[in-house]
Structures are given as C-alpha cells and as structure tokens.
Chain A
Amino acid sequence: MEYFIQQLVNGITLGSIYGLIAIGYTMVYGIIGMINFAHGDIFMIGAFVALISFIIFGLTGVALPIILLLVLLIAMFFTACYGWTVEKLAYKPLRGSFRLAPLISALGMSIVLQNYVQVAQGARVKPMQPLISGGLEFFKNSEFIVTVSYLQIFIVILTIILMGIFTYLITKTDLGRAQRACEQDRTMTALLGINVDRTISITFIIGSSLASVAGMMFVLYYGVIDFYIGFLAGIKAFTAAVLGGIGSLPGAMLGGLLIGLIETFWAGYVSLEYKDVAAFSVLIVVLIFFPTGFLGKPDIEKV
C-alpha cells in the first residue's frame, strides 16, 4: 500500500511534466492539423536554457524563490523564440501543401535541433546539483516510508497554477477566442478580421513556453539532461495528447497524468527495462480502440 502511494506521487509528478508538453502538441494539432514533431526538441531546448540559467544564477547567490521565478521566465522567453522561429521557417510555407509535407519538415527540424544542441553544447550528459532538497515523510511507522519531496510539491503546484492561467487565457480572453475560432474554421475567422497567421504564431509561442516549463521541471527533477531527451519525452507527450483526445486541452492534461502513472506503475511493478515499451503500447492500443481519445471530438472525413 505504501509502495503504491509512493508510485502514485511519482506518477503524478511525471504526469505533470508530460501534460505540459502534451498541451503544445494538442494546441498545434487543433489549429493547423499537424503533428509538430519538433515539439519534443523544443522541450529539450527549454531544459537546456533552464540549466544554463540555473548555473548562471547559482553563481550569484540570489534567494532560491527568485532564482526559480527568473529561470522560469528566461526559459519561457528563449524557448518561445525557438517555437516561433520553427513555425515561421518550417511550417508556415507549407500551409495548404499535401498532408505529409509538414510532418516531414517537422521531422527534419527535429533532427536539426537535436544535432544543433549537440554541436553547441556537447554530446555528454549534463548533470546539475539538486537545488530543492528535502521533503515530507509519511507512514513513518511502517516498513516503507513514503516521501513526498518539496520538489514534487513544487512541480505539481506550478503545473496547477499554469493550467489555471492557461485555461483563463483560452476561455476568457480575446486571444483565446481567436484561437478557438481558428481551430473551427480558419477561412471564416480570417473573414471576420482576425489575423490568422498571428494567432497561429501565438499558439506556437504558448505551446513552447509551456514545454520550456516542463523542461525546467525535468532538469530539477532528474538533475541530468542531454540533447536526446526530447525524442522520448516528445513521443510520450504525444501519446498523452492522443490518449486525452487530440485537440482537447483538458484531455492533454488528463492524458499526461495517465501516461505518467502508467509509466511509473509499469516501472515499479512490471519491468524497468520495458517502461518505454509500455508508453508505446498504450499509444497503439489507444489509437486502435479509441482513435478520438477520451475527451476528443470524432473526426469526420469529408469527400
């Protein structure tokens, strides 16, 4: 039982990270109907920017909460620049092209980003000393002590806050309305005087910023990153987006949590070596049995 609760806590933490990345996939899919294959690498860049800023601020000796806030903002800004540029260079010229063209272009972009970071930052893994240590302990009398670290609490609370802001942005503001309108009908939205190109750019900026937050959490949580983390994390987050129903924002968060839980429980109870297989198998099973995911809308194909 204690072991189960510990895995649950770990799973929710991991799920928050996947959920934040999954939002980027689902938003982009909703608005332009493509799988942004490079999104995992955007997350990786976010992790690198966060790592670099942690090192810089670590030298100045500022108080921890201020460092966290500054790093968060810096990572969001620089990663958003990457998301914006990738869209402008690789996807915008391909609007209206045949369906697989943006996917292949995204694949190319993903290869470019990975190898670019490898060249610029070196291929070795980058370790970082833990910044937030300690935690709360439960069930002290039993054999297995459940530990909820402050870092896990920080990650989950930050995710909830971001989700709150994000939901407000999408449901209540003009920007969110424009974004949802573009999802439904881009031509009609343009006729009503909304700048569709700009709305798409903003979608990429929001998605990338959330991915960079996930990147920062990843650096803090695992304490080690390399240029290759984006591939697996990206695939898993995409699985999360599909599981929740691609195009649905609450679905992405739900899917992220589920994938995080499945992965930790699989690693904890079944087999550690095959934990990545679990995520891929879930993806395949979900696509076969519920192609629209849990909260997605059915996809009607017209002639």
Chain B
Amino acid sequence: MEKKDIIQSFKDSLFTGLIALALFGPIVGLRTASKGEGLFITPQWGIVFLLVGLCILGRFLINLNSARKTEITFFSKFTSKFSAITEDKAKHFAITAILFSAVFPFLPFTDRYFMDVAIMILTYIMLGWGLNIVVGLAGLLDLGYVAFYAVGAYSYALIATTFGWSFWICLPLAGVFAAFFGILLGFPVLRLRGDYLAIVTLGFGEIIRIILINWYEVTNGPDGITGIPRPSFFGLPFKRSPDEGETSFHLFFNLEYSTMHRIIFLYYLILVLALITNYFTLKIRKLPVGRAWEALREDEIACKSLGVNPTNTKLTAFAIGAMFGGFAGSFFATRQAFISPESFTFIESAIIVAIVVLGGMGSQTGVVLASIFLIGITEMFRDLEQYRMIAFGGAMVLIMVFKPKGILANRKPTILMHGDKK
C-alpha cells in the first residue's frame, strides 16, 4: 500500500471519529437522571471516548481491508458458503431436523428450561412459516401480523372461558376468526403498493392492540384474560388429582405424575401444528393459487395481463397466513393460560418479519434457521436484555446491507419451461 493511501484512510478515520463524537457525545455522554425534583446530567465521557475510539479503529481497519482489494467481506463469504451447503442438502437437513425434534424431549440433557425454549422457538417457526406465505410467497410485506396472532389468542381465550369448549373445537374456530379478520382487513388495502401496504398493516396491528386495551367489557383491558383452560390429551387432563368421574393422563397410562407431561404434550402439539403449516405451504406452492402468488410477487402487471386477479389472489394469501397466525395464537393462549395486550406489540411483528426476511424470503428452511438463531441467541443473552434489541435491529440492517435476500435466498422459480434446465 502506498503512503498516500494510508494518510487518506487515516484522515477518513479521523472524520469518522468526529461524526461518532457528535453522535455519542450528547446522547451517551450526557445521561439525564431524575434526582428529587427535575432532571440532572451525569456525564459519562469514558464510554463516549471508548465508542469513538472503536469507530475510528473500525473505520481504519475497513479502509486497510478495502485498499487491499478484498471486496468480499468475511460476512458475505461465510453466508454464501453456508447457503451453498444447505441448499444442496435441504432435504437431508429437513429430515434430520424433524427426527431430532421428534426425539428431543427424551434426550438426556433436556430439562424444563430447554423444553420451554424449544416450545418458544417452535412457536416462532410456526409464525414465521405462516407469515412466509404472505411475505415470502405473495411478496406482501405485512408489518401487522401480530394482529392475527392476537385475534387467534383472544378468540380462543374468550370462547374457551365463556363456553368451556375443548381445545380441539376452539383451535379451528380461532383460526377461522383470524382468517376472517385477514379478509376483513385485507380486502380494502391489498390493492396498495408494497410499502404503503406495510404501513397500513402496521396501523391495523396497532388498532387491534388499542382496541384490546380499551374494550374493557370484552377483553378485560390491560389486565388481560386469566384462567384459560389448558389443553387435554384427547379428553384426558393433565392434573394431579382429577375431578370426580374423570381420569387424568398419568392415571390412564399408569405413570408417575409429573408436570413435564403437559410440557412434552405442548411441545408435540406445536411441533405438529408447525409441521402442518409447513406441509400445507409446500403443497400449495404447487397448486395454481400458489403459483399465482409467486408470479404476483415477481411481476404484478404481467400477472394482470395473463388474467390473474391480483386482489383475490393476494386475499387468499393474506387469509391463509392469518389463519396460521390464529392457530399459533390459540396455542400461545393455551400454553400461557393468561394473555394480555402486552404480548402483542409491534415489536413482536417486527421479530416475525425479521425471521422471515433473515431466513431468506420464501425459504422454509431459512425460517427454521433464523428462528433458532434469533430466539436462541437472544435467550442466551437474557441477562443483557437491553442490548439484545440493539443487536437484533443491527442484525436486520447488516443482513439487508450484505445479503438483501436473506441467509438462504430461495427465489428460484418453482416451475420451469421444458428444456430450460437452468
């Protein structure tokens, strides 16, 4: 490298440092804190200088790196290799993953905590797969997916607590309600362009949440709904001492009573629900309506000229996605036995969208990897609660910048003309 280059990159780094100082100086350096009456400033210059130093160093290293003409950064190298491996072996991966998840509850190291995390990851996988129909296949960015999750959870909770019907009746009803909401909300707005649609769906998500908070008579407001019935194993409840005339799960199978039975049952329940979502998506992709979704995603005008009705086609995607969101919602309600509007904030929608986008829109395997990655990692750093979301948002930006199509970019057409092998 020439001397001129080094001086140039040095200047550049100093400029970065100045900008970093302007960024971190007031917000990080002057922390406001309440003391008695009014606010006072606590200076924290140490952290500011550390951050500025890091920025200068980072910029200098990047400059050195780019001067050596190594355009491909470590990050994109890593991910492209990764996607090359997994795309070839996607089928093997899927089979291994299903087998592993089937035996997971009985592995020696699996305890209550692992099971809880696994159930959470599976819930997000299911939500991700549901949203993947809308975002990945039909190309409609839905930032209010949590609304359908909430509708599913609340309709399950309300039906189950008011009528006392069993889980297996409430679950499809909750799905139907969510799908109905999907049609109701989708019908007026689906003709909008992509980014407008994103903002409108976000608005819907917020409207639903505000209604849940304020409609006290039905939803019990911010206090939420308690005492939601737990699911039973085909009529056999998971109770230590069953009511008169009832047989509980452990008595029927002659087992020692354990709370793990219910957890394991919930685990298999969500696993099956998620796999149904996946199976459904894989099948519908090969049907005319699935093909129409993907075609619409690629070129709406071409689709219109070929006689595809864009609004109806999008509406089916929206409704089906909403239905799976509703199923996941009722699972959530029955697992928690308590729901409140707090569980259905915008950030939840953002997490689900991030899972779909990070995984590579349209890729089913990608959703699994992204859920494990995002939920697993954030679970590991539980103690660093505050920094977790910064890392989360940062990952979204970085992945978009370096790999705008996600970890497993899978936008290969599912159907090809004869002879066109590529």
Contact = CB atoms under 8 A, between A and B. Distances in A.
Nearest to A303: B301
B203 to A, nearest CB: 4
Interface stretch (A5-13, A109-117, A176-184, A258-266): A109-117
Contact of A119 (B30, B207, B353, B390): B390
Nearest to A50: B26
Contact of B199 (A109, A273, A283): A283
Contacts of A235: 199, 202-203, 206
B210 A105 contact: no
A107 B206 contact: no
B28 A120 contact: yes
A52, A127, A281 pick with most chain B CB within 10 angstroms? A52
Contacts of B31: 120-122
B386 A119 contact: yes
Contacts of A107: 143, 350, 353, 393, 396
Nearest to A29: B195
B172 interface: no
B192 A45 contact: no
Contacts of B19: 81, 84-85
B27 A121 contact: yes
Interface stretch (A90-98, A147-155, A162-170): A90-98
B33 A122 contact: yes
A103 B198 contact: yes
B192, B207, B387, most chain A CB atoms within 10 A: B207
Interface stretch (B37-45, B150-158, B362-370): B37-45
B200 A287 contact: yes
A301 B301 contact: yes
A124 B196 CA distance: 33
A48 interface: yes
Interface in A282-301: 283-284, 287-288, 291, 299, 301
Q: Residue among B23, B38, B301 with the most chain A CB within 10 A?
A: B23
Nearest to B351: A111
B393 A110 contact: yes
A55 B32 contact: yes
A49 B27 contact: yes
A273 B27 CA distance: 32
Contact of A99 (B22, B195, B401): B195
B242 interface: no
Contacts of B401: 89-90, 93-94, 105
A82 B22 CA distance: 9
B26 A115 contact: no
Nearest to A129: B38
Contacts of B387: 115, 119
Interface string A104-141: 11011111111111111110101111000000000000
Contacts of A100: 141, 194-195, 198
Given A81-B19, A111-B392, A301-B301, A52 B30 contact: yes
A78 interface: yes
Contacts of A273: 210, 213-214
A284 B188 contact: yes
Contacts of A115: 386-387, 389-390, 393
A81 B195 CA distance: 26
A126 B39 contact: yes
A101 interface: yes
B386 A118 contact: yes
B394 interface: yes
B22 A283 contact: no
A242 interface: yes
B189 interface: yes
A238 B27 contact: no
B393 A111 contact: yes
What 5 A-B pairs have minimum CB-CB distances, sorted nearest first? Answer: A108-B396, A111-B393, A112-B393, A280-B203, A105-B400
Interface of B: 19, 22-23, 25-28, 30-34, 38-41, 141, 143, 188-189, 192-196, 198-200, 202-204, 206-207, 210-211, 213-214, 301-302, 346-347, 350, 353-354, 357, 386-387, 389-390, 392-397, 400-401, 404-405
Given A118-B386, A277-B210, 5 more contacts: A55-B32, A108-B397, A113-B393, A124-B34, A235-B199
19 contacts: A34-B195, A98-B405, A104-B357, A104-B400, A105-B400, A108-B397, A108-B400, A111-B389, A121-B31, A121-B32, A126-B32, A128-B39, A129-B38, A277-B207, A277-B210, A284-B189, A287-B189, A288-B192, A301-B301
